[in-house]
């Protein structure tokens, strides 16, 4: 398993910027196979102001977005900048949320490539807090080439 990388490499690989960078660090990656990444969830997140004022819960759609960003890092790292700009997520299936994510939690994302045929990649993604699954999804992407 390859070593992980920090926020500087994440910002180099992803087009996202504040407040939409939802991966803080890559813990480990096996190029072309899998990635483990993390997100520290703090009360300072801008979405907690309205979701919800008296009981802050991370929106499920943002947990899903963070899993997609981890998948994007897995696919983008070996690509040229030109091919990275053509990376396109095409589908998400089987999304399930098992437990709320709250300030103070540390989300760990595990994404693995399940199948790759030509430019189409299918991945499984799971999010954990304290070794308990909090969300899962199947993610599809189209890599490189013309869109």
12 as an active site residue: the answer is: no
Task: Report the pLDDT value the prediction gives residue 19, as an integer from 0 to 100.
Answer: 93
Dihedral over alpha carbons 17, 103, 134, 9 (to 10 degrees): 30
How far from 20 is each of 62, 116, 132, CA to CA, in Å?
9, 28, 25
Among the options 51, 86, 119, 138, which is catalytic?
Answer: 51
Gap between the terminal Cα atoms of the chain? 31
Instruction: Pull the structure tokens for residue 82.
Output: 């030109």
Task: Report the pLDDT value the prediction gives residue 146, as an integer from 0 to 100.
Answer: 53
User: 3-state SS of the chain?
Assistant: CEEEECHHHHHHHCCCCCCCCCCCEEEEEECCCEEEEEEECCCCCHHHHCCCCCCCCCCHHHHHHHHHHHHHHHHHCCCCHHHHCCCEEEEEEEEEECCCCCCCCEEEEEEEEEEEECCEEEEEEEEEECCEEEEEEEEEEECCCCC
pLDDT tens by residue, 87-132: 999 999 999 999 999 999 999 999 999 999 999 999 999 999 999 9
Is the pLDDT assigned to residue 57 strictly greater than 50?
yes
Query: Any idea where the domains of the chain sit in the sequence?
Result: 2-142
pLDDT tens by residue, 81-98: 888 888 999 999 999 999
Q: Which residues pair with 37 in a beta bridge?
A: 26, 109
| Entry field: residues in the chain | 147
Q: What is the CATH code of the structural domain delimited by 2-142?
A: 3.10.129.10
Instruction: Pull the structure tokens for residue 87.
Output: 């990376």
Task: Report the pLDDT value the prediction gives residue 47, as an integer from 0 to 100.
Answer: 94
């Amino acid at each position: 398993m390859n070593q992980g990388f920090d926020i500087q490499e994440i910002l180099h690989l992803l087009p996202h910027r504040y407040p939409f960078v939802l991966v803080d660090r890559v813990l480990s990656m096996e190029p072309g196979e899998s990635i483990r990444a993390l997100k520290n969830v703090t009360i300072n997140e801008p979405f907690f102001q309205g979701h919800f004022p008296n009981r802050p819960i991370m929106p499920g759609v943002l947990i899903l977005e963070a899993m997609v960003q981890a998948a994007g890092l897995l696919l983008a790292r070996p690509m040229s900048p030109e091919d990275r700009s053509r990376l396109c997520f095409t589908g998400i299936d089987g999304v399930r949320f098992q437990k709320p994510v709250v300030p103070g939690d540390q989300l760990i994302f595990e994404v693995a490539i399940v199948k790759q045929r030509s430019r189409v990649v299918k991945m499984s993604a799971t999010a954990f807090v304290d070794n308990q699954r909090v969300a899962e999804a199947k993610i599809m992407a189209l890599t490189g080439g013309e869109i």
